[in-house]
C-alpha cells in the first residue's frame, strides 16, 4: 500500500450540543452509519463539497460527475 493508504489518519475533535448528538444517534439506528461520528463526517463532506462546487462556479452535471468520481464510479 502506498500513498494515502499508508499514512495514518489524523483526527480532531469537534463539539456539538448534547441534545443534537442524541437526536442523531436515535435517527441513525436503522441506517448504515455505525456511529454519530461517521454520520457527521459524511454530512460535513457533502456540505463542504457543495460549498466548493458553488464557489468554483461548476455546473450541476460537473458536480455530479465529481461526486461519482470521488466515490470511485467515474
| Per-residue confidence in pLDDT tens, the chain, 74 aa | 455 555 678 989 999 999 999 999 999 998 999 999 999 999 999 899 888 877 777 666 777 777 788 888 86
pLDDT at 70: 84
Q: What is the pTM of this model?
A: 0.62
pLDDT at 73: 80
Q: How far apart are CA 6 and CA 9, in angstroms?
A: 9
pLDDT at 36: 96
pLDDT at 53: 77
Amino acid at each position: 500500500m502506498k500513498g494515502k493508504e499508508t499514512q495514518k489518519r489524523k483526527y480532531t475533535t469537534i463539539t456539538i450540543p448534547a441534545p443534537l448528538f442524541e437526536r442523531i444517534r436515535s435517527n441513525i439506528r436503522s441506517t448504515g452509519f455505525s456511529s454519530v461520528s461517521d454520520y457527521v463526517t459524511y454530512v460535513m463532506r457533502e456540505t463542504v463539497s457543495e460549498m466548493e462546487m458553488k464557489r468554483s462556479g461548476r455546473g450541476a452535471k460537473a458536480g455530479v460527475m465529481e461526486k461519482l468520481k470521488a466515490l470511485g464510479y467515474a
